[in-house]
Chains A and B, each alone.
Chain A
Amino acid sequence: MSGTSMTTRAWLLMLPLLVVMIAVIGWPLVDTVGLSFTDAKLVGTGGNFVGIDNYAKMLANSNFQRTLITTAWFAIVSVAAEMVLGVLAALLLNQNFKGRGVLRALMILPWALPTVVNATLWRLIYNPEYGALNAALTQLGLVDAYRSWLGEPGTALTALIVADCWKNFPLVALIALAALQAVPRDITAASLVDGAGPFKRFRFVILPYLVGPLMVALVLRTIEAFKVFDIIWVMTRGGPANSTRTLSILVYQEAFSFQRAGSGASLALIVTLLVTLLAAAYAALVRKTAGSAT
């Protein structure tokens, strides 16, 4: 069979998928871009062309700037904590001990729970009147009175980050554990014979095997953390005093609560652009580290 007909066949085979992709991703994207240049409302009239007005207004808005900082802080801290916790958990679960299988199964549980369930659970834990966290801390003598963890701007974001970590570190742990299983036993054994301590062994023998898979986890988690919505919506709705409002919540309010579809679309596209840039930066980093590892 000739090359050209192979190519034609390949395209034909992909055609149904392409059509679906264009319908569910391509068209809405084009539509959103169009919408972002109008002052369209969610219901009613189609809206007038306003050029880059929506973008200019949004970027100059102090609410947007503050929300961007909140989102970045949430993403950086929670993803960093998830990576560290995930790797530590994976190292632990890679050891040989009794009950390892049960522990591995248990660890995946928070990740398997729907986010809304997870968020409701943490709301109960943080409850300022009857919450388990307050009960535990007072009984241990760490705090002298019950505190309002989600009601104070100083603690609300951190409390959300803890809840998000609890839900998402198992994913990192799972990826890291899979990578650890691929480390050849004779190499670790050889490093032991050479007298490498646990830290050196991790840094020079094990870590190179982990870097690639961990970069994948990092990209996935960063993108997700940047888009965080449900856990915050359920736990604080962006409060207190907007201290936990992230970009996705701002998009939601703009487009659906205030019904400014045009302005909401422009904001959504700004978020999309930011996430795409982040992903591209990571991808470049992965290529570099993968190149140096081999």
Chain B
Amino acid sequence: MLKSLNKTLLGAALIGVSFASDAFAETTINALFMAQAAYSEADVRAMTDAFSKANPDIKVNLEFVPYEGLHDKTVLAQGSGGGYDVVLFDVIWPAEYATNKVLVDVSSRISDDTKKSVLPGAWTTVQYDGKYYGMPWILDTKYLFYNKEILDKAGIKMPPKTWDELNEQAKIIKDKGLLATPIAWSWSQAEAAICDYATLVSAYKGDFIKDGKPDFQTGGGLDALKYMVTSYKSGLTNPNSKEFLEEDVRKVFENGDAAFALNWTYMYNMANDPKDSKVAGKVGVVPAPGVAGKSEASAVNGSMGLGITSASKHPDEAWKYISFMTSQATQNQYAKLSLPIWASSYSDPAVTKGQEELIAAAKVGLAAMYPRPTTPKYQELSTALQQAIQESLLGQSSPEDALKSAADNSGL
């Protein structure tokens, strides 16, 4: 009798506990991600499921938009009174988001230990004016991919170390009739073109902005655009590059129609997948080249971070989620899609196995990551530069004139 009473009490207590936890439970947070490249939608869902299992009291609603819609969707949601607690943001937006109070300053939430363990280059993704506006999540830069088979056939022993060498090797390939247009870029009127341009600006040691004023019209900025125009006019570059986005570059490369291609990390494992690609097993990757006497290698910071919006009513839960998504354990598990932000991950065989070549390129590239300018007017600057690049490629105006009018229209 006593036993059964005990049981009943225990049962009642248990029910009570489960009710209590139910009552406290279910803080729902909304998160906005992008539906492409790096981590796929399925992977983000899998990571989130793992988080929910560890934190049953927090429910996460996921939403995915293409990269092109990420910025505007975030800003619009904020303009109409919020909606998202956690947003994915590109390295070019923290200045604008911080100035317009879209993201909250999370400097105090990041421990000194974390600050030391994450690669220094990764932190530039989330910083503006000395403050931290989130955690870096996708660490990315553009690499030079090459087709080993085509280089072999052309008798080229080593992939190029400088941008001039790239042209020389491309010319050999073209002259031998292996490919009519060996190099593929993403020069469509979009942010993609700015990433390629910024990679070259970093190689030529140029500046986007100096003392708050545009500084790309002369020096490295001008050299970079001149290089693009020369490469385009020489016929070494695939002329369709001017309407390519990264995915077009990937398709051309995977079809064996390019000997060289500039693209993000994600292309490495996709181009090596025989299901998808005709060049699987022949994909080489090196850091983007440098310029003799100026730089050893070049790289643009194309990383992205996760931040908390100022409209969020659950910043603590949002931070818990961000901490989980950016943790070393989660990142190592998905390292085939996007390299971790944690320095020690690069000596972990679980991360490096099967992609030693990529890791070797990453060690150089990630250290050289060049930031696109941090200015609240970034979108305007970028739009003006996109126009300048396309006008120069099409021969509508000289690189000098095009960059000068871009500087005038940059809003700076």
Contacts and interface: CB of A to CB of B under 8 A. Distances in A.
User: What is the size category of the interface that chain A forms with chain B?
Assistant: 20 to 34
Contact of B188 (A43, A237, A261): A237
Nearest to A151: B243
B390 A240 contact: yes
Interface in A83-129: 128-129
Contact of B101 (A44, A237, A256): A44
Contacts of A240: 189, 242-243, 390, 394
Contacts of A63: 409
A238 interface: yes
B383 interface: yes
A257 interface: yes
A151 B190 CA distance: 13
Nearest to A126: B243
A151 B377 CA distance: 27
Interface stretch (B75-83, B119-127, B315-323): B75-83
Per DSSP, chain B at the interface is helix
Nearest to B180: A145
Contact of B189 (A42, A130, A239, A259): A239
B239 interface: yes
Contacts of A256: 72, 75-76
A47 to B, nearest CB: 13
A61 to B, nearest CB: 10
Interface in A41-63: 41-44, 63
Contacts of B409: 63
Contact of B379 (A41, A237, A258): A258
A21 to B, nearest CB: 21
Contacts of B255: 129-130
A151 B100 CA distance: 35
Interface string B239-280: 110110000100110010100000000000000000000000
Contacts of A151: 239-240, 242-243
B164 interface: no
B75 A242 contact: no
Contacts of A213: none
A43 B100 contact: yes
Contacts of A152: 394
A150 B75 contact: no
Given A44-B101, A153-B394, A257 B240 contact: no
Interface string A229-254: 00000001111111000000000010
A112 B160 CA distance: 51
B243 A42 contact: no
Given A148-B239, A261-B79, 16 more contacts: A63-B409, A129-B240, A130-B251, A130-B255, A238-B189, A239-B188, A239-B189, A240-B242, A240-B243, A240-B394, A242-B189, A242-B387, A256-B75, A257-B72, A258-B379, A259-B100
Considering the complex of A and B, which 10 residue pairs feature the smallest CB-CB distances, nearest first?
A239-B189, A151-B243, A128-B240, A241-B390, A43-B100, A241-B391, A44-B100, A257-B379, A151-B242, A256-B72
